[in-house]
Structure 1
Amino acid sequence: MNIVKPGFTYDVFTRAKADAGLIEAMRGVKNRVPREGLNAMATASLKNGSGPAAFYIGLWSGAHIPDGEETAATLASPVTEVTTYSQTGRLPLVLGNVADGAVSNAASLARFDMLGTGTINGAFVSTVQAKNAATGTLYSVVRFPNPRAFDASLYLELLVGFQFTSLSL
């Protein structure tokens, strides 16, 4: 039996700003849903709690390996948020319709127009748009298998999806 774990999956596309040519693609990177995100999902879905108004995608650098104990308030300690992109805040995660227990931003990829130079080691999903914010709720944190170097000639597109899984008896 093939078991699919629930959680977020990321595809990252590195493209040239000059012609939108694909330079590199990384597909199917699974995340760690931190305890904070799991508790928020369970509260919203099973305890009649309120869900977040919106989700936002951020990028990070650093050597951290997600362990599930990260929170929006503590993420800045083990990682450094990458903020060298032209947009004024973290990018909205615009999710489409839910189908078969899954949802993604396939119709509206998050495009980070990079500035300067640096390295990205991972991404995260939060409920707060402000760069470097330590508030809100952290729903996902992922470390990429390989760092992504960037400079001002590139942009990154992220396809982010979430999938639940159903047990078959």
Structure 2
Amino acid sequence: MENKALVVIDIQNDITKNYKKIVDGINKAIDWATAEDMHVVYIKHNNLSAGTRTFKPGTKGEELVPEMKIVSDNIFTKSKSNALTSEEFSGFINNNGIAEFYVAGADATGCVKSTVFNMTKSGYRVHVISDCVTSYDLKKLDEMYAYYASKGCEVKELDEYMGPENLLHRRS
């Protein structure tokens, strides 16, 4: 395995309905990452606050969505927006010498934003797959892409990462 990982954040049953617009792209990214011999990692959010109803541990809402391909056992749980706060995920990164991340998931203004910010701050190379990220507020996506870039992330669509042969195929 390379020292790269595709990280899919919070594509769970309780997430915004907008995930349905990107799940096919995420599955394509998972296939690409697998073909490129990258680690594929899934991050799940657990909401531990007493007053909330979503992402509760042990509920159907906190499960990964059934439409998404699961190709590894690298499933880590976090209870804060930054995925690096998961000790198991951070340990996995260190144990596998991962230094470069491709990020997909939800929510662009929340957990994706916090995770990519903290990854770049920690010195990792971070790529945000723009057409594999969603938000509760779709109008905020362009603003978030600009934010990610301002923090040192590369922001491109999946086909651009997959290479020129795929771009030619897409245009025909």
Q: TM-score, normalised by structure 2?
A: 0.25
| Higher strand content, 1 or 2 | 1
Q: Which has the higher contact order (CA 8 A, sep 6+)?
A: 1
